[in-house]
């Protein structure tokens, strides 16, 4: 999977992977946390297509898997970087209210 696909996914998934309580302030990821998250995403994308399908989420990303059907806005059974980024932005916006 290319790094250009992983970076948007990492940004979006940081909300899930490092989620704080709703009352907490939004976190800024360190370089080490970003690298760890990128590696986790790479490992999660078993078929290397740049998308996360439900089976991949269930296998490696349980927080994403719990919300998979809601996150999969277009209903194609795969989470694109755009869908993950949109979900991350929504959650971040809710936390900063």
52/90 Cα distance (integer angstroms): 19
70/48 Cα distance (integer angstroms): 23
50/81 Cα distance (integer angstroms): 8
- Rg over CA atoms, the chain: 13
Residue 57 pLDDT exceeds 50: yes
Does 47 map to a domain? yes
pLDDT at site 86:
85
How many domains is the chain partitioned into structurally?
A: 1
1/19: higher pLDDT: 1
Does 50 map to a domain? yes
- 65-83 confidence digits (pLDDT tens): 999 999 999 999 999 888 8
14/8 Cα distance (integer angstroms): 10
Does 38 map to a domain? yes
pTM of the model: 0.66
Domain carrying residue 50: 3-19+29-95
Does 62 map to a domain? yes
Does 24 map to a domain? no
Please report, for the domain that includes residue 81, its CATH number.
Answer: 1.10.238
- 5-43 confidence digits (pLDDT tens): 555 566 565 555 544 444 444 567 788 987 887 788 889
């Amino acid at each position: 999977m290319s790094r250009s696909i992983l970076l948007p996914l990492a940004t979006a998934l940081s909300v899930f992977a490092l989620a704080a309580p709703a009352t907490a302030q939004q976190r800024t990821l360190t370089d080490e946390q970003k690298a760890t998250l990128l590696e986790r995403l790479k490992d999660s994308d078993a078929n290397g297509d740049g998308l996360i399908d439900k089976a991949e989420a269930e296998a490696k990303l349980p927080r994403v898997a719990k919300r998979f059907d809601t996150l999969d806005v277009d209903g194609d059974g795969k989470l694109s970087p755009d869908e993950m980024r949109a979900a991350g932005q929504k959650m971040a916006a809710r936390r900063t209210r």
